[in-house]
Chain A
Amino acid sequence: GESVGLHLPTLSVQEGDNSIINCAYSNSASDYFIWYKQESGKGPQFIIDIRSNMDKRQGQRVTVLLNKTVKHLSLQIAATQPGDSAVYFCAAKPNSGYALNFGKGTSLLVTP
């Protein structure tokens, strides 16, 4: 079955530094991956996605890297800001069906 996990449950970074959040998945048939940001008391907010035919995708201040060989996904946030403090989830979707499998989440704390 699918298993999506995060290497670090919490991450503390200084404002202005770059953040890297990691995620591992177990199902090699996963073909679509999404990073979500969840602030306290709110629903997850879409950040960026990547399909399995890509290994890198960039957005505004964020980059997602996909390494299918080792089934690893990472989210890089450049110049981290206090507003980036939240819990970040990776999610993976197998190549059949619609359901996403969510990781446990990493809590990112940005300190001034």
Chain B
Amino acid sequence: GAVVSQHPSRVICKSGTSVKIECRSLDFQATTMFWYRQFPKQSLMLMATSNEGSKATYEQGVEKDKFLINHASLTLSTLTVTSAHPEDSSFYICSGSQGPSNQPQHFGDGTRLSIL
């Protein structure tokens, strides 16, 4: 149980393109979803936290106009990287949590974004 599906798994696109990544909780309702970024051989860096139906809370240094997050339902959150540039190339991972804060986050399998 507690499966999170992330799509697409890999994106290669030209600089200036906007890219949307979907994160779905398949068998639970994710009242809170999280978006992370991970560079090679490094840990996960939290970008933003979103609760269903409300605006996302972004971590310091993360541009909210650059990384648009929508959490429209209890099973779907999307991250749109707007006007992506090569420095945005990274591994983006989402996770969902069922509710009370002392519940584990369940992660998707990530999206490898490569901007040419």
Contact = CB atoms under 8 A, between A and B. Distances in A.
Interface of A: 31-32, 34, 36, 41-46, 49, 51, 89, 93, 97-100, 102-105
B104 A42 contact: no
A100 B33 CA distance: 12
B43 A102 contact: yes
18 contacts: A32-B101, A32-B102, A41-B109, A42-B109, A43-B93, A43-B109, A43-B110, A44-B93, A44-B95, A44-B107, A45-B107, A51-B102, A89-B44, A93-B101, A93-B102, A98-B34, A98-B49, A105-B43
Q: How many B residues touch the partner, as a band?
A: 20 to 34
B32 A98 contact: yes
Interface in B62-100: 93, 95, 97
Contacts of A31: 102
Interface of B is mostly: strand
Nearest to A48: B104
A43 B44 CA distance: 10
Contacts of A98: 32, 34, 49, 97, 101
A46 B102 contact: no
Nearest to A6: B43
A41 B110 contact: yes
Contacts of A100: 34, 46, 105
B44 A34 contact: no
A42 B93 CA distance: 9
A31 B103 CA distance: 12
Given A41-B110, A41-B112, A49 B104 contact: yes
Contact of B107 (A41, A43, A104, A105): A43
Contacts of B97: 98
